[in-house]
Amino acid sequence: MAENKSGSISLGNITSSIKQYVRILQLTRKPSMDEFLMISKVTGAGIILIGILGFVIYLIMVPLISVLI
C-alpha cells in the first residue's frame, strides 16, 4: 500500500484546514468606529510618510545625477 506523505493532499488534511479556518473566523469581529478611524489614520500616515520619503529621495537624486552626467 502507498504511504501518505506529509506533503500529500488527503481528505483529512482538507477537513482539518477547513476546521482551522472556521475557528479563526469565529474569533473575528467587526471593529468599532473608533478602532476603524485609528487604523485609517495610521494607514494614511504611513502612506504619506512613504510618499514624503520617496519625494526626498527624488530631490536628492535629481541634482546628483545631473552632476554625474
Q: How confident is the model at residue 1 (pLDDT cuts 50, 70, 90)?
A: very low
d(CA 31, CA 55): 34
* Residue 56: band (very low, low, confident or very high) from pLDDT cuts 50, 70, 90: very high
Residue 3 main-chain phi, psi, to 5 deg: -90, 145
Residue 43: per-residue pLDDT: 99
Write the pLDDT tens digit of every residue in 3-54. 455 567 788 899 999 999 999 999 999 999 999 999 999 999 999 999 999 9
Give the HSE-up count for residue 43: Cα atoms under 13 Å, Cβ half-sphere. 6
Distances (CA, A) of 66 to 5, 53, 55, 58, 61: 60, 21, 17, 12, 9
Instruction: Note the pLDDT of residue 7.
Output: 62
User: Any idea which residue has 489614520 for its cell?
Assistant: 41
